Structure 1
Amino acid sequence: MPNTFETFKSVALAEGFDEVLERVWAPDTVLEEHTHPFAVKAKVVQGEMWLTVAGETRHLVPGDLFELEYGVPHSERYGPEGAIYWVARLN
């Protein structure tokens, strides 16, 4: 998996994603269950997060990948240091 944002972006665009950005989350942020009008593929690059989908929670740390299809209900919680991840979106 790509180790720089530019490489992540190039690979994601080649895979058909149409938007790639870096998301920075403040410490201890909690996002209650919600959906997005896009599919995502993301790589955690700093900090930690917990992603809950269909009652299953994954603890994600730097180097971990996650994907969500369009419209999938999920919640997010970020650790005491916050988190940064690179995300490709398919709008």
Structure 2
Amino acid sequence: MSLPTLPEFTEKTSALGYDGVSIRTWEPNSVSQTHTHEFAVHAVVAQGEMWLTRGDDTQHLQVGDTFTMEPETPHAEKYGSQGTIYWAARRFPKI
């Protein structure tokens, strides 16, 4: 899958109702234990690789791959030997 530019990704996710994009940078071989977020996320891997686990399903994601999660989805992340950068658009629930 091809990687959009950051402005392209920001424009696309804004059109889908997301509230801006954060650039997330992770050190090589780091692990994020199972957790949740109060927001929905749509993200694209910009550099490196990662493994995203939701329940019994683990996705291996590489540059250009995307993932989407609804709020409060339990998940864990593992990052590759070169570290990982992904761009994450967030959508907070309307109150």
Q: Specify if TM > 0.5.
A: yes
Residues in 1 aligned to 2:15 and 2:88: alpha-carbon distance in whole angstroms: 14
Confirm whether residue 23 of structure 1 aligns to residue 24 of structure 2. yes
Please name the residue that 1:9 is paired with: 10
Match of 2:71, SS state, is coil
Residues in 2 aligned to 1:35 and 1:79: alpha-carbon distance in whole angstroms: 21
Q: Deviations over 1:43-75 (max 9, x none)?
A: 111101000001111110001110111000000
Please name the residue that 1:41 is paired with: 42
Structure 1 residue 19, shift from structure 2 partner: 2.5
Structure 1 residue 15, shift from structure 2 partner: 1.1
Q: How many pairs are equivalent?
A: 91
Q: Deviations over 1:3-62 (max 9, x none)?
A: 110111011111110121211111111000000010000111110100000111111000
Residues in 1 aligned to 2:68 and 2:4: alpha-carbon distance in whole angstroms: 18
Task: Please list every run of 5 or more consecutive structure 1 residues that lacks an aligned counterpart in the other structure.
Answer: none
Question: 2:24 is aligned with what amino acid?
Answer: R
Q: What TM-score, normalized by structure 1, do the two folds share?
A: 0.94
Residues in 2 aligned to 1:37 and 1:19: alpha-carbon distance in whole angstroms: 15
Task: Please list every run of 5 or more consecutive structure 2 residues that lacks an aligned counterpart in the other structure.
Answer: none
Provide the identity percentage. Answer: 47
Q: What TM-score, normalized by structure 2, do the two folds share?
A: 0.90
Residues in 2 aligned to 1:2 and 1:48: alpha-carbon distance in whole angstroms: 13
Q: Deviations over 1:66-91 (max 9, x none)?
A: 01110000000001101011111001
